[in-house]
Structure 1
Amino acid sequence: MAYLINGVEYEADDLGYLLEPVYDDEAVRVIAAAENIELTEAHWEVVNYLREQYREEGATPNFRNMLKGFSEIHPGADSKYLYDLFPVGPAKQGPKVAGLPQPLGKGGY
C-alpha cells in the first residue's frame, strides 16, 4: 500500500500506516480522506499533539497517556471527545492520520 502525497509515493503497511513519518500537512489531508475523516480544527490539534509526542519520544502515547497529555493542553477533552474525532481509536487512528508509523505495543499502562 502507498499514499500519493504532493506527487511523491510514500509506502505504508497493510493497515495503512506510513513506514516513516511524514510531517507534510498534505499527508494528513490524504490519509484523513482515505479514513473518511473530514478534518476540523480539533483534528489538527490532536494531530499536532501526536506529531510533537513522536518527535520528542520516538513513539506515540498509548490511549491512557494520550488522554492525560492532551487534556493538559486542551482542558475538557475526555475519551468521548477523542473518540468522536477518531472513531476507530484515537491512539491508533490518530497517529495514522497524523502521518506517523504504526504505534508499537498493545497500549496498557
Structure 2
Amino acid sequence: MTESESPDFVAHSETARIGAEPEAYDLDEWSEEIAARLAEEEGIELTDEHLAILRFVREQYQAQGPMPAREMIAMLVEEYAPQGGKKYLYRLFPKGPVCQASKLAGLPVPPDAIDKSFGSVM
C-alpha cells in the first residue's frame, strides 16, 4: 500500500508499537475505517461489539490516560461482565483484549501487556 492510497492508515499504523510514549499518539487521527483495516490485518472482522469496546477503551484513555495492562483488563472485564467478561473479550480479541483493543483503538499498547518470557531470543 502506498502513502497516497491511504495516508491516514499508513501514518497511523505506527500506533501499534508496544510501549511507545503516549504523547506520540494523535487520538484525533483514529477512525473506525482505520480500525477496520487494522482489524483485517489481525484477522478480525470488525463488528459493532468490537467497536463498542474500542470506543470504551478510547474514552477511558482520554479520561484517565495510559494504564498498566492488568488495570486495563480488570476495567474491561468489569465493564463487560454481563456479556461474559474475559471469555467474551478473548472471543472478540483472540490475541489478547489489551493488546488488540489498544492497537485497533489507535492507542499505545501498554508495555507490560506482552510477556517477553515467551518466544525465542533474536
Q: 2:89 aligned with 1:71, yes or no? A: no
Q: Which residue of 2 aligns with 1:7?
A: 7
Q: Which residue of 1 aligns with 2:87?
A: 80
Q: Distance in 2 between matches of 1:4 and 1:56?
A: 34
TM-score of the superposed pair, with normalisation by structure 2 = 0.67
Q: Deviation of residue 38 (structure 1)?
A: 0.3
Letter in 2 for 1:105: D
Corresponding residue pairs, total: 100
8 Å CA contact retained: 2:99, 2:110: yes
Structure with the larger helix share: 2
Secondary structure of residue in 1 paired with 2:80: helix
- The partner residue of 1:62 within 56, 72, 97 is 72
**Please, what is the CA RMSD of the aligned residues?**
2.8
Q: Provide structure 1 residue ranges, at least 5 long, that are not aligned to the other structure.
A: none
Q: Provide structure 2 residue ranges, at least 5 long, that are not aligned to the other structure.
A: 115-122
Q: Say which one has the larger Rg.
A: 2
- The partner residue of 2:97 within 90, 102, 109 is 90
Q: Deviation of residue 71 (structure 1)?
A: 2.5
Sequence identity percentage? 30
Secondary structure of residue in 1 paired with 2:112: coil
Q: Deviation of residue 23 (structure 1)?
A: 2.5
